[in-house]
Structure 1
Amino acid sequence: MHRRPLDLPTMVLDWGSITWFVSPSTVPGATSSFGEVVINPTKGHDRHEHPDADEVLYVVEGTGRQTVGDGPEFDIVAGDSIWVPRGTLHSTFNTGWRQLRLIATYTPGGEEQALRGLPDFTELPAGEVPVWERPTAP
């Protein structure tokens, strides 16, 4: 199956956006989820966990700070990979001046559906691109 970003809906949250290329809810027979996460500068997501899935993150572009479990925060840069075991608290924060782009996978897939219940969740239809505005100087 071949999928292009503009052919798919995009999940938008106050910290960035996610486009899921593969998900058990959208690809018949899929057992994992695979998507691109974009975290805007000075933004990040709160510590959370995925009780029923392992997560792997691969940093495509940008710089950030990551937490996994009770360990200390650590810097992440393009080329890094992070494994988050199921049920482990974790967070990601963009420390750079440009967007932080990650590839995220869930095994087994489907954990991304929980994002739909967040208060800042919206979904853009296929073909619509999220707009990000740089913060203005005080």
Structure 2
Amino acid sequence: MRKGNVIRASEVKTFFFDETYTSKMLIDRTNSETQNVQINMGIMAPGAKHTDHNHPTDYDELYLIMKGEGMVRLDGQEYDLSPGDVVFIPGGSNHAIANKSDTEELVIFTVWPKHPEEGANPVYDLRIREWGKSYVTIHE
């Protein structure tokens, strides 16, 4: 039987992707016994906008909106986002996200049903290149 665990976001090292986006890998195969899910806490800076990009065909993704007000564009259609909203991004879709506030961060949890292979997720790939692994605590 696999063993469960608890990850405290306050003890996870922040990865700085660029001036608009930071993230904390909360659950993946490096810190738990999962092989089936990956959860990341993404923080978008006030006013940040990410451009449209195609999602890898083999990877569905979920956004769980935790804090702030945002907008997501899915295959050309825009939706306003508030805390508690959930966004399903099917593999192969075109999407973008933006923080609608000029003063508050947009905090989202991103959920992938499996661990991304190299090239599927640029933030994950860069984290591996810079840290040598996807999950690092503030104590390391």
Q: Aligning the two structures, in what range does the TM-score lie when normalised by the shorter sequence?
A: 0.7 to 0.9
Which of 56, 73, 81 is the matching residue for 2:78?
A: 73
1:46-125 to structure 2, matched below 5 A, reads 46-48=51-53, 49-69=55-75, 71-96=76-101, 97-110=103-116, 114-117=122-125
Aligned CA distance change for structure 1 residues 78 and 6 (closer, same or farther; 3 Å): closer
* Matched-pair contact (CA < 8 Å) for 2:40–2:111: yes
Greater relative contact order (CA < 8 Å, ≥ 6 in sequence): 1
- Corresponding residue for 1:126? 137
Q: How many residues align?
A: 125
- Which secondary structure does the structure 2 equivalent of 1:36 belong to? strand
**TM-score between both structures, scaled by the size of structure 2:** 0.74
* Matched-pair contact (CA < 8 Å) for 1:12–1:122: no
- Corresponding residue for 1:135? none
Aligned CA distance change for structure 1 residues 68 and 122 (closer, same or farther; 3 Å): farther
More strand by share: 1
Amino acid aligned to 1:59: I
* Matched-pair contact (CA < 8 Å) for 2:69–2:100: yes
* Matched-pair contact (CA < 8 Å) for 2:35–2:114: no
User: What are structure 1's unaligned runs of at least 5 residues?
Assistant: 129-138
Amino acid aligned to 1:9: K
* Matched-pair contact (CA < 8 Å) for 1:13–1:122: no
Amino acid aligned to 1:30: Q
RMSD across aligned C-alpha pairs, in angstroms?
2.6
* Matched-pair contact (CA < 8 Å) for 1:22–1:30: no
Aligned CA distance change for structure 1 residues 66 and 4 (closer, same or farther; 3 Å): same
* Matched-pair contact (CA < 8 Å) for 1:25–1:110: no
- Which secondary structure does the structure 1 equivalent of 2:109 belong to? strand
User: What are structure 2's unaligned runs of at least 5 residues?
Assistant: none
Deviation at 1:61, TM superposition (A): 0.9
Identity level (%): 18
- Which secondary structure does the structure 1 equivalent of 2:50 belong to? strand
Instruction: Say yes or no: does 1:2 pair with 2:6.
Output: yes
